[in-house]
Amino acid sequence: MPDVELESQFLLNQMIENLPKNQALVKKINAVMLMNFEKDGKLAKQYTFDFRVKSPSIHEGDDGNANVTINTDDADFVKLCFGQLDTAKAFMTRRIRITGNMALLQRIQAVLKSVQNNSAKEKSKL
């Protein structure tokens, strides 16, 4: 995979930074998610979100342990995080595609909501 700059990189960085502060959210998820970010219809980057462990982590790449895999366009992920695109609508229109444990979708929404709230707080500081 070529090194591609994601529009959502700042959101991923924010998730990585805020993850240790959000233990309640991590306990709710208790799973490993693989996010495949696409640009121009092609896989651009992959991130593994490991919410099973006491010290949760988000890192680039696929470690092969995902309970659920989420495929979405990079720009759509930004819209999801900022509440400009509804998760259920995105799923129904295949702008977000999920394989694996579908029950995790609601828990994943909690992650997006957390990012949305943190992003709003950051914007208000500017």
pLDDT of residue 119 exceeding 60, the answer is no
The runs of H, that is alpha helices, within the chain are 9-18, 23-29, 74-81, 87-92, 104-125
pLDDT tens digit string along 51-82? 887 778 889 999 999 999 999 999 999 998 88
The domains found in the chain, sorted by start residue, are 9-120 (3.30.1050.10)
pTM for this entry: 0.82
- 44 by DSSP, 3-state: which? strand
**Alpha-carbon distance 88 to 105, whole Å?**
9
